[in-house]
Structure 1
Amino acid sequence: MVDHVHETIIRASSDVSQKKKELLSSAMKRTSEWISSQEIPSDINVQLGEATFSLHKFPLVSKCGYIRKVVSESSDAGVSFIQLSDVPGGAEAFELAAKFCYGINFEINVENIAMLRYVAEYLEMTEDYSVGNLVGRADSYMNEVALKTIAGAVSILHMSENFLPIAERTKVVSRCIDAIAYIAWKESQFCTSARSDSGSEEVMSSAASHQRPVVEWWAEDLTVLRIDIFQRVLIAMMARGLKHYAIGTILMLYAQKSLRGLDIFGKGRKKIELQQEHEKRVVLETLVSLLPREKNAMSVSFLSTLLRASIYVETTVACKLDLEKRIAMQLGHAVLDDLLIPSYSYTGDTLFDVDTVQRIVTNYLESEMRNHAVYSADDEYFSPPQSDVDRVGQLIEKYLAEIATDRNLPVPKFIKMAELIPEQSRPTDDGMYRSIDIYLKAHPALSDMERKKVCSVMDCQKLSREACAHAAQNDSNGFAMPWMVVEVANLLPLMAN
């Protein structure tokens, strides 16, 4: 049985080897067909790896400066063998270049133009050796056909990633990037009619939403690019003046594709391969550096996703702080899920990353005080716009109630988060009462002193009648301290009046 299996493996290996040899020799067979029609025996063999081409010197040296130099500089006047190494595109590319030398027609298209341009550069197929040579033909095709569309330019740029540094030396990379940036900017100009000259933020936001699908039809093409090339394309687009809503759409599409495989919404951090983690880290740090500076250019949900991923793969502190500040700027538009960032820790810490949310809220409050506060005659700060503060206050109350169930959440963290809720956003303390009730029931082992500290963040005078009634009867559930039972009980008659 073992011998049979061994024999099968040997036979399979032999079949694979045979197929490989057949593929490698396919170029030689085609070349033989060309030269047989010439009725002139081949006088030179060109070897690339395991592939050997039997060709004629004259058509090669008449168009290939590199081969002309090899032949002329050889000590053997009748040189009949040349070995080439590191040819861009390998045997497939050289075959097309040889066809060009022989005058054999073949199709130049977006799929092979990059390879043709680089093998032509390698072989020095320039106008110095023949009019209408392959370098010029390839450049003409790029300028007149391939670089006229974003899809064509991206395709060439993507293939060029495999041919660095010759792709840089020939300036094909820079030409593709310039073409993409120009066409993208030009396309965006057709969308500007939806914008209003009034400068209204609501109109601008509506216009950006209307134009986004128009951007997406070509932005998807850019997601195939390597992150360093993608970065250069985005910078070129911004230099052209492409609008922030278009840049934002491109970044979101690229992030969605590049961050696949990260379980950033799960509980706990799953180990991933070091190489993959490093690649994701580089992508994230680059994307964050490219984010538009305009407020509301990116949704809070997207920024939160980037922050989760940044924490997950442990990007630089600067990268994470940048995202936290961006979220803080738009906290009034956030929803609860945006703040429920899992704690990616192996140490059994809190379920959610409370420290990060605390920094975000602190940034928001400090920013609001800087941007909107003014001094009164008594040198006291007026509050920022009430509607925004109200939304943020309600959001933090919801967050506090959500994290209160975590048995690993210590009293100081709970209190610190509760104290961040703006006072002016709390017409009643019913939301705070609910959070404290949940916390105390989830932490029955707290000492009397700890329970009193937790309850101290609430103002009983700001409880509604329903909350007071609930609190007065809540002692059996372990909520209230005796002093609180008395206080809320005294409030009930006053509320009745």
Structure 2
Amino acid sequence: MEACCDLQVDVNGEETFLVDKKIISLYSGRLRKLFGKSAGAVDNLKVIFHDFPGGSESFELVSRFCYSSRQMEITPYNISLLHAAAHFMEMTSSVSGTDTNLMELTQKLLDEIRYWMWPELLVALKQCQELLPESNVSTVIEKCLDSLIRRLVLASETSPSPSISSSNSSACRLSCDTKSTESLRNGLFSRSTWWFEDLLFVSPSLLEMMIRSMISHKLDHVIISKFLFYYQKSKLPVASSSLEKGKIIEAVIDALCMLERSSVSCKSLFGILRVALGLNMSRGSRNKLESMIGSQMDQATLDNLLVPSPYGTNYLYDVNLVLRFIKAFLCFRVSKQLKKVGGLLDLYIAEVAPDPCLKLSKFIALVSALPDSARDSYDEIYRAMDMYLEVHSGLSEEEKMRLCSALNYDKLSPESHKHLSQNTKFPSKTAIQALRTKQCKLKSLLQASKDPKLPNGESPCALSKGKVKDEEGDQIVIYAGELDPMADNERLRAHLQGMQWRVMELEKVCWKMQTQMTKILKAKTPSHSSARSLPKLCS
């Protein structure tokens, strides 16, 4: 066909093509509409496209298709460009009485996507990604992703080899010359992760769509999470700007949120957190990350929690971040995890207590963050409070009382009770409270020894003797086990006499405690020595 070049087409400012107006407009509904509006014949026509999908390369392919009377071969390597260009040029009409047009031809090839090879799928998907977001290639993307992920699922269920044949998908096969195959042969990737390297080209904007497709095809969530962490570690070092890094992190976090919580590694989440702290991330993505970490607080370590405070603050560690973790944990917590997290938080509190810039309100918030049932003992909290008061010696009596109100005296050991009653850094009322708690415990023991029926329903006749020490170091006799009163009446009588004698001893101990409390009220004066280092108890 002899063609005359009577039309100039400027494609996105990249290149100007000289084409036959009649031939091009014969296939393009968009140009037919444009030329139909012009009055009469016009010489030296010029059309300028500013947003032609795929640019000059794509327009050249469309021109070849028009000039070759639809004989140009459409392959997986050019289908994305042709499909997008056909949409843009409105090449949806049949020509010369045929039933086919460019849109139908590309759709026909897409219908045979199960016969495509692995590298062909990757190239088509890459081209679609480059055409986003302006072009209408969603159909190609969906079909490529669907085919890719079906093969990944099939590969994980059958053979470790990336060359697959399935009776359901006929010629479902993968290339033997891809990077994934080389990685597999070199032992760099396991059977389930050989494809990680091949899919690193996926952009953050396409990542979510791909992960949703993986989930819908029931790919193992653990494998998906491993890919996301691998994706993050591989993409960040080559990102050109902080903005690009932020988009990568946000895309990974959004994708991880779609997975089962148990499939996501807590250690890896903290790795993302440390990277994210230096980036301008959205508040929504940061909240999602903190929520995921909080749900796995029982797997965290002290080192994980020791995150430096944000820029511009003067305290050492980011206490607010840990408080948000605890809040998230309490939304997901299981009772068996509570005490483990309680022990971890006690270690953290002891670590931040010597910080001279840590505000009293933040310290109290840490101590009170978990319910009382999270701790069997408050000894570690008492030691942390002792360190805090050592460093913050300028607190008022009222502030000290606020601090001590978070202390559960009933869960202090005898040693801590004794230390607290003599600790001049604590307010007098606190020491008195400790002594009263101690006295109440002794009275309870005294009452139990007088009662012929013990709490478990046993009688004194069913007890044998043992010894423990009270806070003052004195021995107190307790009884456990069973005796046979018929076999040894004399021994039983001796035990009862011993119990009566110990009751008298306990009454003397209570009297001594009351005397000590009176002395504290009258003569206790706090020490303000500042030359002393942290107390040995807290070191």
TM-score (norm: length of structure 2): 0.58
Q: In 2, Cα distance between the equivalents of 1:495 and 1:327?
A: 49
Q: CA deviation at 1:236?
A: 3.1
1:88 aligned partner: 53
| Structure 1, 359-368 or 92-101: larger mean CA deviation | 359-368
Whether the aligned pair in 1 keeps the contact of 2:5 and 2:21 (CA below 8 Å) is yes
C-alpha distance after superposition, 1:213-255 (max 9, x if no partner): 5454334555544444332333333333333324433443455
Selected match of 1:122 from 85, 88, 91? 88
Q: In 1, Cα distance between the equivalents of 2:115 and 2:311?
A: 48
Q: In 2, Cα distance between the equivalents of 1:152 and 1:464?
A: 74
The answer to whether residue 345 in structure 2 is matched with residue 402 in structure 1 is no
2:300 aligned partner: 334
Whether the aligned pair in 2 keeps the contact of 1:44 and 1:56 (CA below 8 Å) is yes
Selected match of 1:179 from 135, 140, 147? 147
Change (3 A) 1:136 1:82: farther
The answer to whether residue 316 in structure 2 is matched with residue 351 in structure 1 is yes
Amino acid at match of 2:380: G
1:412 aligned partner: 361
The answer to whether residue 407 in structure 2 is matched with residue 439 in structure 1 is no
Whether the aligned pair in 2 keeps the contact of 1:150 and 1:179 (CA below 8 Å) is no
Q: CA deviation at 1:332?
A: 1.6
Whether the aligned pair in 2 keeps the contact of 1:300 and 1:334 (CA below 8 Å) is yes
Q: Secondary structure at the match of 2:83?
A: helix
The answer to whether residue 10 in structure 2 is matched with residue 44 in structure 1 is no
Q: Secondary structure at the match of 2:471?
A: helix
Q: In 1, Cα distance between the equivalents of 2:40 and 2:4?
A: 17
Q: CA deviation at 1:415?
A: 2.6
More helix per residue: 1 or 2?
Answer: 1
Amino acid at match of 1:248: S
Change (3 A) 1:43 1:413: closer
Q: In 1, Cα distance between the equivalents of 2:14 and 2:237?
A: 39
Over the matched positions of the two proteins, sequence identity in percent amounts to 25
Q: In 2, Cα distance between the equivalents of 1:41 and 1:321?
A: 63
Selected match of 2:221 from 236, 244, 250? 244
Q: In 2, Cα distance between the equivalents of 1:294 and 1:339?
A: 23
Q: In 1, Cα distance between the equivalents of 2:158 and 2:376?
A: 48
Whether the aligned pair in 2 keeps the contact of 1:428 and 1:464 (CA below 8 Å) is no
Q: In 1, Cα distance between the equivalents of 2:291 and 2:475?
A: 43
Q: In 1, Cα distance between the equivalents of 2:190 and 2:266?
A: 19
Q: Secondary structure at the match of 1:83?
A: strand
Selected match of 1:296 from 254, 262, 279? 262
2:212 aligned partner: 235
**Where do 5+ consecutive residues of structure 1 fail to align?**
1-37, 193-211, 263-271, 372-383
Change (3 A) 1:429 1:64: closer
Q: CA deviation at 1:399?
A: 1.0
Whether the aligned pair in 2 keeps the contact of 1:324 and 1:359 (CA below 8 Å) is yes
TM-score (norm: length of structure 1): 0.62
Q: Secondary structure at the match of 1:47?
A: strand
Whether the aligned pair in 2 keeps the contact of 1:178 and 1:236 (CA below 8 Å) is yes
Q: CA deviation at 1:293?
A: 5.8
Alignment of 1:406-485 (within 5 A): 406-420=355-369, 426=375, 429-447=378-396, 450-451=399-400, 454=403, 457=407, 459=409, 462-463=412-413
1:160 aligned partner: 128
Whether the aligned pair in 2 keeps the contact of 1:151 and 1:218 (CA below 8 Å) is no
Selected match of 1:218 from 190, 195, 198? 195
Whether the aligned pair in 2 keeps the contact of 1:215 and 1:249 (CA below 8 Å) is no
Q: In 2, Cα distance between the equivalents of 1:314 and 1:414?
A: 28
1:9 aligned partner: none
Amino acid at match of 1:411: L
Change (3 A) 1:445 1:109: farther
Q: Secondary structure at the match of 2:343?
A: helix
Whether the aligned pair in 1 keeps the contact of 2:79 and 2:124 (CA below 8 Å) is yes
C-alpha distance after superposition, 1:113-171 (max 9, x if no partner): 42233234434555712667654554455554698467654543443345356633773
Amino acid at match of 1:175: K
The answer to whether residue 70 in structure 2 is matched with residue 99 in structure 1 is no
C-alpha distance after superposition, 1:429-460 (max 9, x if no partner): 55334433442343343345545654663759
Alignment of 1:62-73 (within 5 A): none
**Where do 5+ consecutive residues of structure 2 fail to align?**
161-188, 439-469, 478-539
Q: Secondary structure at the match of 1:97?
A: helix
Change (3 A) 1:492 1:307: farther
Q: Secondary structure at the match of 2:262?
A: coil
Amino acid at match of 1:334: A
Change (3 A) 1:407 1:312: farther
Q: In 2, Cα distance between the equivalents of 1:191 and 1:448?
A: 72
Q: CA deviation at 1:355?
A: 3.3
Number of matched residues? 405
Q: CA deviation at 1:398?
A: 1.4
Selected match of 2:17 from 53, 58, 62? 53
C-alpha distance after superposition, 1:76-116 (max 9, x if no partner): 55856442414322323222333344449988766644223
